[in-house]
Structure 1
Amino acid sequence: MPLVKNGQIVADDFVTVADDAELPADGAILVSAARFLADAETLTKSNRPLGVVWPNNRDVVELKPWLDRLALIALVYPTYKDGRAHSQARRLREIYGYRGELRATGQVLRDQFTFLVRNGFDAFDAKKETDAHAFREATHRYTEFYQPTGDGHLSALQLRKQRHKAATT
């Protein structure tokens, strides 16, 4: 499956490790929430990039003690109608200050791509090559937004105020 990260289609550096599989000797690994929570102390002490697949029915506050040691959090969209991962992403970015990779995975519709970016996702695990290209384009499509979020973009109102202030000084 193609991975889009920061607006570019890239190779995935993370290897997904099943719950009952042995960990590879080195390299970036992606484990399930169950495996992570069962052995978080050991997993976070290893000197390798670590990621966790976090279901949308678990509270992200459970990850708070380890956020500085997680290189990747993959938030799951089990169906396109279930948007709880949007809220999880915003909480991770805006409340807990998570700066690692936030990856959307699962059933995401194309008209949700811009919302993924606005809510703090910087990567998307696409099911189809055409979706990967569409997501890449969506990351650059809009430059002004009405709604404020924690993605670093100023809202349209904030931009208007800046322009007005610059014009009057």
Structure 2
Amino acid sequence: MSKVIQNGRIVTSDWQILTVAEGEEAEALSVPAGRVIVPLATWLARREELAARADVGVWFASSEGPEALEADIARLPVIAVNFPKFVDGRGYSTAVLLRTRYGYTGQLIAFGEVLRDQFNYLARCGFDTLQPREDRYTDAQLDAAIASIGDYSEPYQASVLHPQPMFRRIARAGAKA
């Protein structure tokens, strides 16, 4: 079990993220009982078997998009997106697509190289759970990071949390209705 930031609080997550070892085939991945998140390739290869379970989620690599999972998105309790490097921002687009185009309302996890200075942006893109590497932050650092999520209470740009830009959200004195 790992500590995550979920909806602005530190909680212990019982979701286990399964990975495919080098040289191992996604289809042959051993999927244990309990709450697990499998790679997209494993889900696609074993969809019939895994779809029957209510305790299985799917994670995307940064190079994978949600269109491959379109038919199954609504049934998944959790979807995760891997951030393999802090400079790889493709996961932000995946989250926005899941929340806006595909209407995903379940738990959305950002995991991997998830850094404190990205927490606000990750939340604005639709992630409700942030899972940095276990050795990245102490509990005190995670507490401080939670406070930083709300640093920008009224962002100018549109996002999943604020679909309209600020100039559309703010009523100005003297403006015509």
TM-score tier, shorter chain, comes to: 0.7 to 0.9
1:95 equivalent in structure 2: 101
The counterpart of 1:139, out of the listed 129, 144, 149, is 149
**What TM-score do the two structures reach when normalised by structure 2?**
0.81
Task: Give the 3 Å change call, closer, same or farther, for CA 131–76 of structure 1 in structure 2.
Answer: farther
Instruction: Give 1:128-167 correspondences, 5 Å limit.
Output: 128-129=137-138, 130-152=140-162, 155-161=165-171, 164=173
Query: Structure 1 CA distance, aligned partners of 2:57 and 2:141?
Result: 23
3-state SS, counterpart of residue 62 of structure 2: coil
Query: What per-residue deviation string (whole Å, max 9, x for no partner) do you get for residues 26-70 of structure 1?
Result: x32211222111112221222x23211210101210111111111
| Aligned alpha-carbon RMSD (Å) | 2.3
Single out whichever of 115-124 and 137-146 deviates more from structure 2.
Answer: 137-146
1:120 aligns with 2:94: no
TM-score between the two structures when normalised by the length of structure 1: 0.84
SS across alignment from 1:141 = coil
Cα contact 2:120–2:150 (8 A) shared by 1: no
Q: 1:134 to 1:61 in 2, by over 3 A?
A: farther
Percent identical pairs in the alignment equals: 32
Residue identity opposite 2:62 in structure 1: N
Alpha-carbon offset, residue 114 of structure 1 = 0.9
Size of the aligned set, in residue pairs, is: 164
Residue 4 (structure 1) aligns with: 5
* CA–CA distance in structure 1, aligned partners of residues 117 and 149 of structure 2: 12
Q: In the alignment, does 2:36 pair up with 1:35? A: no
Q: 1:63 aligns with which of 69, 86, 92?
A: 69
**Larger RCO: 1 or 2 (CA < 8 Å, sep 6+):** 1
- Residue 146 (structure 1) shift: 0.3
Q: Tell me, which stretches of 5 or more residues in structure 2 are unaligned? A: 21-28
- Where does structure 1 lack aligned partners over 5 or more consecutive residues? none
Moved over 4 A (4+): none
Task: Indicate the residue corresponding to 1:21 in structure 2.
Answer: 30
